[in-house]
Amino acid sequence: MEAQKAICKKYSSDLIPINEQLFIGLGTDLEFTPINGLRHPEHETMNGWYIWSGEWSDSTDFFKPIHAEHLIEMQPAILKYLSLDIGFRFQIDDKGYEDVWFDEKITRLE
């Protein structure tokens, strides 16, 4: 949790822990870098995070649900980003690159 707090502080985000009972949308097996993530509002069984690497696809079945704990086992480096607020995005690679930004096009559900 300390790493999550530090990332949120570094990027001026509120600390919004994920509901680990809900799913993350996983677009690829994350074998490629960079790894990308973006956070939408929670909806139905999804906690709002969508994570992928490699090429983006607009296919309706691009993202598959995965429990947060399984994703973290696959790629523990992403854990520290998962408490960023709705609207935040990140991109990281295995060489230490890190980019985090707020995307105004991602809106909160009211």
In-domain check, residue 62? yes
Mean pLDDT value of segment 53-62: 86
Query: What strand order describes the sheet that includes 88-92?
Result: 64-67, 23-26, 46-53, 35-39, 88-92, 98-102
Reference 76, options 28, 16, 30; nearest CA is: 30
Instruction: Give the pTM.
Output: 0.90
11 located within any domain: yes
Measured in residues, the chain has a length of: 110
Domain-located, residue 109: no
Would residue 65 count as lying in a domain?
Answer: yes
The verdict on residue 9 lying in a domain is yes
Q: What are phi and psi of 6, to 5 degrees?
A: -65, -40
Collect all residues with Cβ–Cβ distance below 8 Å to 65 and sequence separation of at least 6.
Answer: 23, 24, 25, 26, 45, 46
Taking only the tens place, the pLDDT of each residue in 17-53 is 988 889 999 998 788 889 999 999 998 999 999 999 9
* Residue 110 lies inside a defined structural domain of this protein: no
Question: Residue 88 falls within a domain, yes or no?
Answer: yes
Q: How many domains are there within the chain? A: 1
Assigned domain for 64 exists: yes
Share of the chain above pLDDT 90, in %: 64
**Domain ranges, residue 12:** 2-102
